Chains A and B, each alone.
Chain A
Amino acid sequence: KNEVEQSPQNLTAQEGEFITINCSYSVGISALHWLQQHPGGGIVSLFMLSSGKKKHGRLIATINIQEKHSSLHITASHPRDSAVYICAVCNNNDMRFGAGTRLTVKP
């Protein structure tokens, strides 16, 4: 069993829909990161959080440390949000990654 599990693996949505991507982990962490990878490979850090909730534009990330669970929400989704979203958990210098969720937003 992976230490970091993401769901769903693939997600297709219509433009404007509210999207949720989930991340569950089984190890102790100091922080959790949400990353975005567009076709072509480059990875961009969206959020890093160790408690509570963060918001940036249409993106919201939450974490529940007790339940070892985090969610990434996208409001009013747009085709340019189409990408792979990756959850990564950190404990000191050790990072573990989920396999990613491939999101496709159709116009």
Chain B
Amino acid sequence: DVKVTQSSRYLVKRTGEKVFLECVQDMDHENMFWYRQDPGLGLRLIYFSYDVKMKEKGDIPEGYSVSREKKERFSLILESASTNQTSMYLCASTAPFFNGSEKLFFGSGTQLSVL
């Protein structure tokens, strides 16, 4: 059974802390994504990666960075956590979209609270 695993289900951090969110997929997918989900706003893309060591900014990259040293792992880093980064963070992966027919696979999400 295919799987996208996020390291933490719930996380509570203090303002100013450096936060690491980890995502691992076992499907040998090229594309991996980090989204945040806030009520009424839907999923918004933070960063995505289409290959090892490659990364592209999404719609809301400010305050975040990413790392993809291995194909199966995509990490989201909050350099200095702030209260407005309290949110649900979702990781997703997929094979390349040649014609949009590839299925999306999501992790179970990390609910991050920054106090």
Contact = CB atoms under 8 A, between A and B. Distances in A.
Interface of A: 2, 4, 29-31, 33, 35, 40-45, 48, 50, 86, 88, 90-93, 95, 97-100
Given A50-B101, A97-B44, 4 more contacts: A29-B100, A43-B106, A86-B42, A95-B104
Given A40-B108, A97-B43, A90 B90 contact: no
Interface in B18-71: 31, 33, 35, 40-45, 48, 50
A91 B101 CA distance: 11
Interface of B: 31, 33, 35, 40-45, 48, 50, 88, 90, 92, 96-97, 99-109, 111
B18 to A, nearest CB: 23
Nearest to B106: A43
Contacts, number: 68
A41 B41 CA distance: 15
A48 B41 CA distance: 22
A99 to B, nearest CB: 4
A47 to B, nearest CB: 10
Contacts of B44: 97
B45 A31 contact: no
B97 A90 contact: yes
Contacts of B107: 42
Contact of A50 (B40, B48, B99, B108): B99
